[in-house]
Structure 1
């Protein structure tokens, strides 16, 4: 790390002028709890609602102690060290204004001390920090994700909330203006979703410009990170850059992972000559992770995975183990019987005990998927995103599925015929909404039809020297698949250095219907069974 990150045309560079692609993970639920990460869903979705549940069950005194310990222990240095070891070079830190600043404008020094401690860990492990105002005074979204007090984006209707937001950002800039580990200031998370995007766009632009001016009075060093409206997806407000050191951010969930879905952001990057950042994407299954984060890598887009740690879920790197009596808490939240105080206190204490990383279940498969790191399963249709001649080659016109990779001339089909009982009939767009990490249903699985001579290219990363074992799984055809790695035919004697590799499969001696590829690292001088 060398100096502050800054914009240089369409790239992010450090103080030495070296280009940096941010690869990161978000720490949701720490400073802004969300109900689904506690298994409370919409029944207690916002921080205020979760706080009420805790206080109702164990009383205000114990609740205060719970939250004090929660803030102190939700993330530790071990978390940051693991992020760095996995290859992430950045973390997005979502903050809730209510926990940092009182109604009278005074700042909470113990809260900032925890943030300072976190920045120190990131400095030690060389992980940049994106400071993200996830919950602004009054709320910028009108939903649970910003802790809105009245379920309305009152930030844009109440001058006092705007003044408080300015005051908070000035304080953040004052405290961290000389902190090189801070990558930039993400001014507002996902402002003005749904119909609000059309109601208050002028107010959003005005507030962005005001915040930039106020921050620049104090801090001329850090990048300003701006999100579009409507969950950060609507970039129509960006017709010019309001500062010379700007990074534009979008979010992507549950979409088709292909170039067509990001084309508008690529076009805006070219138009404004500015770097772009996919600042939130996740809450899906491993196949979607593999395809989506490959998409951003292929197009030089910085990215951030959501989210690092949550309770009893399978699709984040760290899973907090569910306490023994937690289901009774969940049942109460959804209208069931209220557990007695001792039971609830025991459950909340066990929850806190389970927060440290060494007490969590670690999901290597989740990390491997987003890093395209062996061992992993490469679904056939998730080949690279750099177009014909680089990521694939075909001898015929190809027929993509409606709504998926329609710009690529590759024939993709469902593996099984659809029936009247399936949720989506043949011809409908594929389903990419697998929020809990579940694998696709049989009728959702896609395959690629390769004519003789057609080929597909995939990225695979390895962490140690050795070989690769590749097992193609086909669903039809009379031909065979030839496999090369970095241009060399793959065989048991192939030795590869650690790092990034290009795996190509080609149909020979007839057509092949490819379902997926199982890729396993082989230690130097060993076989796949030697892997720990």
Structure 2
């Protein structure tokens, strides 16, 4: 049985706020806090707050961006009531209650998406004037995060004119007018200079994310303008603030780093986003290579919009490669794949129908629906789904698909006697035996954008031959009340009977007999104790082949309660 120390290749999760202290900075490939200690950012994003996103409201394309949602609200209840609606919305959608819960959940950071139009009061003259009441909203979240020890990343999600030419930045004409109009760039530089001046002494601010997801590939003709603009913004920031980290995103949804041809600052972090595709090392290798080349930390600044099983794989991938991460998003309506789900108000379909050209609700009915929505968006009224956060940190009782064994490489995360040459398009360089559970021979499909459970006809399994082993890391939270744990797994024996050793933290817990040529679920007879922190399970075939679908670490007391 292999013996691997827990410290090897992975950072231990520290909760309680002690790692969040002092100005954060890049030092080589690491992030260092104010005490000089290494830290990984583990956070959530506040999608749809200062930049309302229609899909999080379940709206069709006619209500897919802030300006269209604002127009709908104004048409339904009038300008005066609309102003009241938005004032309540911005002050309630993210509150100290949300921040308190995020901190208690063990995250150490938040990413705050900002719409330039939300902050700009007037840009027609030579001097850009900013909306002080809206800046106060950012001040508030920074104050709450300082109190509850969460680093804050300020993210310009929607720049003046729009950096993507799509709904996600509130583009008016579906064109990236930030790169088509010099004035929009001047306003963007002025906005960042103002924010840097305002927060230059605020250590809880981790850094400045200059532009979210600039220029999808169909606007790649403007790609050569991104780095020059990054340089202009950085120069303006450094004229007033030399302590905060600069964060740069690639083009095409932050996935294309080919624009990074010059390291423009000494305190720099590069950001990519990851949605819906295979959570394996091959899929992020270009980012790992750039980290080595530039000797800078890297950050997965947005990932999510999938199901909990995918989260258990993808976010362990980031952890194993020492990549800071941020989950998207903390809160949205009527979904099972975010920590908070806003309960859909009665009559909400009337708003959807109206946007699609249907009957306009009368003013009283529309106001009732919208104010019920305002009631429902507060954290206290949301459906809190702890299991989503548990899946990100791989805490009990998260189900871990067996294909998501560790990402530290052969000899650390897995050991195999005979490498497999067949390539099914996932973890293709490992040489492990990954098989389709059903008969389909198509490439694995991870595009569960709506958060549906792991689908049987798309699920994969691993096969262990004698002496093969796979390792799975997981985390026990510091607030865990369980005294004993067990392991449940789904497996079968192609040759009718097999034996498999289950070890936890290098201690053999049980030799499991797997009987039958069809899938079955079985639980260990023996319980074991776990302290808070990072732990490691190893599954090793002892005799005959065994195929494994998934495993779960379960608190025994929860099973007894059931």
Q: TM-score, normalised by structure 1?
A: 0.95
For residues 359-390 of structure 1, what are the alpha-carbon distances to aligned partners after superposition, in whole Å with 9 as ceiling and x for unaligned? 11011121111110001111111111111111
Q: Where does the alignment leave 5 or more consecutive residues of structure 1 unmatched?
A: 419-425
Offset at 1:498? 1.6
Q: 1:153 aligns with which of 152, 159, 176?
A: 176
**C-alpha distance in 1, partners of 2:425/2:60?**
29
1:20–1:235: structure 2 CA closer, same or farther, 3 Å change rule? Answer: same
**Counterpart check, 1:318 vs 2:332:** no
For residues 378-435 of structure 1, what are the alpha-carbon distances to aligned partners after superposition, in whole Å with 9 as ceiling and x for unaligned? 11111111111111111111256522110111111111113xxxxxxx1x22111101
Q: Determine the structure 1 residue equivalent to 2:318.
A: 296
**C-alpha distance in 2, partners of 1:297/1:286?**
16
**C-alpha distance in 1, partners of 2:148/2:319?**
23
Q: 1:329 aligns with which of 329, 338, 351?
A: 351
Offset at 1:527? 6.6
The 5 Å alignment of 1:410-421 reads: 410-418=432-440
For residues 65-109 of structure 1, what are the alpha-carbon distances to aligned partners after superposition, in whole Å with 9 as ceiling and x for unaligned? 111100011011111111111111000000000010123321101
The answer on whether the counterparts of 1:400 and 1:408 sit within 8 Å (CA) in structure 2 is no
Q: Determine the structure 2 residue equivalent to 1:433.
A: 447
**C-alpha distance in 1, partners of 2:111/2:179?**
24
**Counterpart check, 1:177 vs 2:196:** no
Q: 1:69 aligns with which of 56, 79, 88?
A: 88
The 5 Å alignment of 1:199-210 reads: 199-210=221-232
Q: 1:344 aligns with which of 366, 369, 384?
A: 366
1:229–1:335: structure 2 CA closer, same or farther, 3 Å change rule? Answer: same
For residues 199-240 of structure 1, what are the alpha-carbon distances to aligned partners after superposition, in whole Å with 9 as ceiling and x for unaligned? 112211111111111110000010000001111111111123
- Tell me the C-alpha RMSD between the 2 structures: 1.4
Aligned with 2:122: secondary structure? coil
**Counterpart check, 1:467 vs 2:484:** yes
**C-alpha distance in 2, partners of 1:527/1:360?**
24
Offset at 1:340? 1.7
Offset at 1:493? 4.6
**Counterpart check, 1:495 vs 2:529:** yes
**C-alpha distance in 1, partners of 2:426/2:310?**
13
Q: Where does the alignment leave 5 or more consecutive residues of structure 2 unmatched?
A: 1-19, 511-525
The answer on whether the counterparts of 1:257 and 1:295 sit within 8 Å (CA) in structure 2 is yes
Q: Determine the structure 2 residue equivalent to 1:26.
A: 45
Q: 2:239 aligns with which of 208, 213, 217?
A: 217
Q: Determine the structure 2 residue equivalent to 1:442.
A: 456
For residues 295-351 of structure 1, what are the alpha-carbon distances to aligned partners after superposition, in whole Å with 9 as ceiling and x for unaligned? 000000000000000111111000011111112212222233222221111111010
The answer on whether the counterparts of 1:462 and 1:521 sit within 8 Å (CA) in structure 2 is no
Q: 1:455 aligns with which of 469, 491, 495?
A: 469
**Counterpart check, 1:307 vs 2:329:** yes
**How many positions carry a matched residue from both structures?**
519
Offset at 1:530? 4.3
Q: Determine the structure 1 residue equivalent to 2:538.
A: 504
The 5 Å alignment of 1:227-246 reads: 227-246=249-268
The answer on whether the counterparts of 1:226 and 1:247 sit within 8 Å (CA) in structure 2 is yes
Q: 1:273 aligns with which of 286, 295, 306?
A: 295
Q: 1:43 aligns with which of 45, 55, 62?
A: 62
1:471–1:17: structure 2 CA closer, same or farther, 3 Å change rule? Answer: same
Q: Determine the structure 1 residue equivalent to 2:212.
A: 189
**Counterpart check, 1:529 vs 2:560:** yes
1:2–1:527: structure 2 CA closer, same or farther, 3 Å change rule? Answer: closer
**C-alpha distance in 1, partners of 2:456/2:180?**
48
Aligned with 1:490: secondary structure? strand
Q: Determine the structure 1 residue equivalent to 2:304.
A: 282
**C-alpha distance in 2, partners of 1:401/1:68?**
54
The 5 Å alignment of 1:257-268 reads: 257-268=279-290
Offset at 1:61? 1.5
**C-alpha distance in 2, partners of 1:33/1:493?**
47
The 5 Å alignment of 1:71-220 reads: 71-104=90-123, 105-197=128-220, 199-220=221-242
Aligned with 1:137: secondary structure? coil
The answer on whether the counterparts of 1:400 and 1:413 sit within 8 Å (CA) in structure 2 is no
Aligned with 2:121: secondary structure? coil
Aligned with 1:303: secondary structure? strand
For residues 483-519 of structure 1, what are the alpha-carbon distances to aligned partners after superposition, in whole Å with 9 as ceiling and x for unaligned? 1110112263522212211011111221001111132
Q: Determine the structure 2 residue equivalent to 1:514.
A: 548
Offset at 1:58? 1.5
Offset at 1:41? 3.5
**C-alpha distance in 2, partners of 1:530/1:484?**
26
Aligned with 2:536: secondary structure? strand
